[in-house]
Structure 1
Amino acid sequence: MESAKRWFGKFRPKEKHKTSSKKTEPTPYGKECSKTPLNDETPSNATQQKVAAAKQYIEKHYKEQMKSLEERRERRNVLERKLADAEVTEEEQNNLLKHLEKKETEYMHLQRHKMGADDFEPLTMIGKGAFGEVRLCREKSTGHVYAMKKLKKSEMLRRGQVEHVKAERNLLAEVDSNCIVKLYCSFQDEEYLYLIMEYLPGGDMMTLLMRKDILTEDEARFYVGETILAIESIHKHNYVHRDIKPDNLLLDRHGHMKLSDFGLCKPLDCSNIQEKDFTVGNNYSGSLQSDGRPAAPKRTQQEQLQHWQRNRRMLM
């Protein structure tokens, strides 16, 4: 018996000598630990932005997962109701339900597939910019044609355009409108950032103006109306384009216009906008206010323009 106790005693942890002079306090588990000072420093703005982005990504991911699960259940319930009304045999019902499950599985596999540059066949170049190019490409699996915007990361960093590119990608992902170019997917490698967008074969508004010289009144009204709808669609999401010109108004195969090239767009905090900073004063020199005091002298047209331009620059 004594030999067994000695044998088990070999496996007992030996008590460590307390050589540290730091104060210790008991933990909820009955053990002692050294009391370390807490770090009271607030996280930096970059860290806070990363935390907010991670939170938004996780919330969006799980919301989409739950939405996808509900949609799959609803599709199965609809099929089961249709099969019950059709009075088909039980064997046929099982076969159709198995076919639906197979299609759902294939669809989920496609959703998990990560796109890359190797999934597209590059075709003709249709545009070239300061730090990127736009090329016509064909998806190898489906044969669909897209416009691939290829941006060089080193040039974006050198020119300080990272925030503009992020704003462009976020706008295209957030805004779902028939008046702007659609973004289908985005991915990157070590050297480039890729944006796979809708291809519009009708050219741009500048080419149309050069070809027709003068638009008819109906044509002008039509394209001005679609331009206003496109600008309104991004203003509703608190973005400003800042590069509206005929070259960035593209036409699809049916002649409808869509806004493109959001490389200079910027998110806008509308809570800080005050109407008084953008209105023109109407008080004339020598006039009186409602309380009888003399009104402020009216600014000249040049002073009003400078005041308006200065506020716009501060806002942007």
Structure 2
Amino acid sequence: MSKKGISGLRKRIDKKKIDKKHIDKKKKQKEEKVQQGGGKFIPLEEMSKETIQRAKLYKEFFRNKSMEYFYYLYKRQKRLEEFKQNLKKFKISKNERSKVIKEHFQKESNFLRRRRTKMSVKQFTILAKIGQGGYGDVFLCRKIDTNEMIALKRMKKALIEKTNKVEHIMSERQVLAEHSSPWLVQLLYSFQDTKYIYLAMEFVRGGDLKALLMNIDYLDENTTKFYAAEMLLAIKDLHELGYIHRDLKPENFLINHDGHIKLTDFGLSKKFIIKKEWRETVKLINNKKKQKKKNSKSQNPYSTLSKRQLQQKRRNKFYTVVGSPEYISPEILEKKGYTKTVDFWSFGCILYEMLTGFPPFSGSSIEETLENVMNYRTSLENPLDDQTNEEIIQPKAWHLIRKLIHKPNKRIGKNGIQEIQQHPFFEGIEWDKFQNSTPPFVPKVESDLDISYFDTSYFDEDEVELEEPETTTSTERNNQFVGFTFKKYDLKQGGTQDIYQKK
């Protein structure tokens, strides 16, 4: 055998030895892991709930990442094709052509770099505190690099985990990121650090519908019809995304700078949790013996209070955390299973409140309110005007309210939201063109910093800057919020336009 053949044979032998050593090493490592329990196969039924939940989170994370990646490639190719078509329309020199092409790809590179940039509170300047809730605060901020005015919602991770609200927060982020509806609040960014999670949303300047009702007591029928129509369009878009809101109430409908409505707060859009004390109250109500029909006047919560007194009573509750018992449907309380029609019940309650100035089932306590909800057939009444002694709600509106506040199998909208849109109360509304209609009220905003439509009197405004993230890491806590990060950038402006929104 030649020297060359012997040399090649030695190389092959040496390679096999190296491969064998590598295999033996891997095998040994695997055996050590098995002995330690790390490599042991565990059947699905024996896995802990935490492990299964974490696996689902990572699965969703990788699915979203791959979809985002392919969608980015699709949009980039589309932009390139449009750029080439536009380039053909103009007669320019070779040097100018080369320069324009270079600028285009430079923009793409900058855009890609911006997508990779890690979001942080350092990128925002706090201007004012505009909200405070059980899980965190809401700030009016300006994004430093793009000068965008945003509402930044900051929530504590530890508190969210302690109260088992991780799924709700992830659900809210998912709904906000998926839609492109003009009737739903837009999510611009979402990110996290070791202590907090952040939702950066568009700043809706006109406050909420509840604040409007507090200032003017109630709305006339034409104004009510306008807002009710926009609420329906928002509910329709949310239902078409496959979500039920489950917590519709006046404070969740915001008024934009142009006077149009936007729906917000999607934290309960996947799973509704009833407070323990509410369940106990419902049990007590259901365990009562059947009684004769009570006198409607004696049982009517409005019989001992005038309309003006009820409005004053409602104002006194403005600074307290009431929750949503006044807008919740009986089937949710009874845990008998429900569909998207629970949103139509809540819509009926809001419609009633806009026309009268108070919710239909409001009582002196949560227990009384829930009892009124469960006994809605007798507790729901058209209140009388103090001066004229006539019914406040007109026949068409009252008919719609009674159809909405009804048992599920007979509730209007069960066959589609078009049933509600076709009701005589909405006669004359052109639904396809409604977005271009003139609102009855347009907020007067003096500047970008105007927060006069937000009530800031019920919380401390001592905090003047956002807290810097901790330097230590918490892997376990971050695992709970895998896939939370979201950015919505515009290639040309560097701002938040519809680049990654799925159509």
Instruction: Judge same fold: TM > 0.5, yes or no.
Output: yes
Aligned position for 2:113: 109
2:153 corresponds to 1:149: yes
Shift of 1:48: 4.6
* 1:59 equivalent among 58, 66, 85: 66
Aligned position for 2:44: 42
* 1:206 equivalent among 169, 194, 210: 210
Aligned position for 2:184: 180
Cα separation, partners in 2 of 1:258 and 1:310, compared to 1, 3 Å = same
Aligned position for 2:223: 219
Give yes or no for contact 1:126–1:135 (8 Å, CA) kept in 2. Answer: yes
Amino acid at match of 1:158: K
Give yes or no for contact 1:179–1:258 (8 Å, CA) kept in 2. Answer: yes
Mean CA deviation greater in 60-69 or 156-165: 60-69
Aligned position for 1:244: 248
Shift of 1:264: 2.2
Q: Quote the Cα distance in structure 1 between the aligned partners of 2:115 and 2:58.
A: 26
Shift of 1:306: 7.4
SS at match of 2:206: coil
Cα separation, partners in 2 of 1:149 and 1:50, compared to 1, 3 Å = closer
Shift of 1:47: 5.5
Size of the aligned set, in residue pairs, is 254
Q: Quote the Cα distance in structure 2 between the aligned partners of 1:308 and 1:153.
A: 28
Q: Quote the Cα distance in structure 1 between the aligned partners of 2:203 and 2:65.
A: 31
Q: Quote the Cα distance in structure 2 between the aligned partners of 1:314 and 1:214.
A: 31
Aligned position for 1:310: 334
Cα separation, partners in 2 of 1:48 and 1:139, compared to 1, 3 Å = closer
Amino acid at match of 1:93: R
Aligned position for 1:69: 76
Q: Quote the Cα distance in structure 1 between the aligned partners of 2:159 and 2:137.
A: 12
Amino acid at match of 2:96: E
Q: Quote the Cα distance in structure 2 between the aligned partners of 1:97 and 1:143.
A: 28
Q: Quote the Cα distance in structure 2 between the aligned partners of 1:246 and 1:130.
A: 18
Give yes or no for contact 2:135–2:155 (8 Å, CA) kept in 1. Answer: yes
RMSD over aligned Cα atoms: 3.5
Amino acid at match of 2:44: T
Q: Quote the Cα distance in structure 2 between the aligned partners of 1:306 and 1:195.
A: 32
Give yes or no for contact 2:120–2:192 (8 Å, CA) kept in 1. Answer: yes
Q: Quote the Cα distance in structure 2 between the aligned partners of 1:263 and 1:77.
A: 44
Q: Quote the Cα distance in structure 2 between the aligned partners of 1:312 and 1:146.
A: 40
Q: Quote the Cα distance in structure 2 between the aligned partners of 1:307 and 1:124.
A: 40
**Residues 1-316 of structure 1 aligned to structure 2 (within 5 Å):** 39=41, 41-42=43-44, 44=47, 45-46=52-53, 48-50=55-57, 52-83=59-90, 87-266=91-270, 310=334, 312-313=336-337
Q: Quote the Cα distance in structure 2 between the aligned partners of 1:250 and 1:158.
A: 29
- Residue by residue over 1:39-61, the C-alpha shift from the partner in whole angstroms, topping out at 9 and shown as x without a partner, is 47237433551453144124313
Give yes or no for contact 2:168–2:271 (8 Å, CA) kept in 1. Answer: no
Q: Quote the Cα distance in structure 1 between the aligned partners of 2:58 and 2:106.
A: 38
Give yes or no for contact 2:332–2:338 (8 Å, CA) kept in 1. Answer: no
Give yes or no for contact 2:135–2:156 (8 Å, CA) kept in 1. Answer: yes
Shift of 1:245: 1.0
Higher relative contact order (CA closer than 8 Å, sequence separation 6+): 2
Shift of 1:241: 1.4
Cα separation, partners in 2 of 1:233 and 1:59, compared to 1, 3 Å = same
Q: Quote the Cα distance in structure 1 between the aligned partners of 2:117 and 2:57.
A: 25
Mean CA deviation greater in 143-152 or 109-118: 109-118
Give yes or no for contact 2:135–2:160 (8 Å, CA) kept in 1. Answer: yes
- Residue by residue over 1:78-135, the C-alpha shift from the partner in whole angstroms, topping out at 9 and shown as x without a partner, is 232123xxx3222222222222222232222222222210000112111111111111
Identity between Structure 1 and Structure 2 (%): 32
Shift of 1:68: 3.0
SS at match of 1:126: strand
SS at match of 1:141: coil
SS at match of 1:266: coil
Q: Quote the Cα distance in structure 1 between the aligned partners of 2:135 and 2:74.
A: 38
Give yes or no for contact 1:180–1:258 (8 Å, CA) kept in 2. Answer: yes
Shift of 1:219: 1.2
- Residue by residue over 1:137-173, the C-alpha shift from the partner in whole angstroms, topping out at 9 and shown as x without a partner, is 1111122210000000011111111111111111111
Q: Quote the Cα distance in structure 2 between the aligned partners of 1:69 and 1:306.
A: 50
SS at match of 1:194: strand
SS at match of 1:138: strand
Q: Quote the Cα distance in structure 1 between the aligned partners of 2:131 and 2:141.
A: 13
Cα separation, partners in 2 of 1:257 and 1:157, compared to 1, 3 Å = same
Cα separation, partners in 2 of 1:51 and 1:219, compared to 1, 3 Å = same
- Residue by residue over 1:16-51, the C-alpha shift from the partner in whole angstroms, topping out at 9 and shown as x without a partner, is 9xxxxxxxxxxxx9xxx89x9994723743355145
Amino acid at match of 2:159: E
Compute the TM-score of the two structures, normalised by the length of structure 2: 0.45
Compute the TM-score of the two structures, normalised by the length of structure 1: 0.70
Q: Quote the Cα distance in structure 2 between the aligned partners of 1:308 and 1:146.
A: 34
